[in-house]
Amino acid sequence: MIHKTAIIHRNAEVPDDCEIGPYCVVGEGVVFGAGCRLHSHVVIEGPTVIGRENEFFPFCSIGQKTQDLKYKGEPTHLEIGDCNVFRESVTVHRATGKRDKTVIGNHNTLLAYAHVAHDCVLGDHIVMSNSGTLAGHVIVEDRAVIGGLTAVHQFCRIGRMAITGGCSKVVQDVPPFMMADGNPAEVRTINKVGLERNGVPEETQKHLRAAFKLLYRESGLNIGDAVAKIRRDLPAVSELVHLCNFVEKSDRGISR
């Protein structure tokens, strides 16, 4: 299952059922789970631990050292979960600080030219569209969608089931369940299509719309007042609890 032109470091761990295509390079400290496939011209460097059934398309560059200029060569890591798809020319970098790690969860799809920088943490079932770019220390929660050519500033967070429009410039946190678009990005409304696709009941969507209006449309309320009013006046469904907790923990502020 390893093409004769592929180069595999003797200290890499490659199970027998993995497929390594033509002209791939697998470096020292790379550990694969079962059933991974590298199509061709894929480069993976370590220390990188990769789960099962991940698929890497041509010209992916995975596990290269951080582009952070503070990096001094200390050991850093990349961890990738199960069943992810990395399309053509995707780049994912290891962390910057000693023993720190960049983390990608499970069942994510990163489309062509997407970039995940050092120390990012991605959850599960995320879609990064073509040329979506995450700067360092970005957190993306489960089932979020990053629109094509979106650029996310370092230390920002993209909340659960949120979506960013194509070509958006994200400089503050995008709260869960919301749709953000623009340069700089502004939250426009709830992500109704995403909520429906993920089976969120209509009653819960109604409560999220009410929470959106309190956060973004109610004059005279600051963020703290809006969150307090959401907690007081709306049902304590899990989505609203998560939304309030996310907003309260925001260091960069939320996209307005």
Q: Residue 101 belongs to what H/E stretch?
A: strand 101-104
Whole-angstrom distance, CA of residue 216 vs CA of residue 247? 12
- 158-186 in b/e form (b: 16+ CB < 10 A) is bbbbbbbbeebebbbbbbbbbbbbeeebb
Q: Which two tokens stand for residue 222?
A: 């600051």
Instruction: Give me the residues paired with residue 31 across strands.
Output: 13, 49
Cβ–Cβ < 8 Å for 153, 171: yes
Cβ–Cβ < 8 Å for 111, 87: yes
Whole-angstrom distance, CA of residue 163 vs CA of residue 16? 39
Q: Which residues are part of the catalytic machinery?
A: 118-119, 136
Residue with tokens 């059922």: 17
Cβ–Cβ < 8 Å for 17, 34: yes
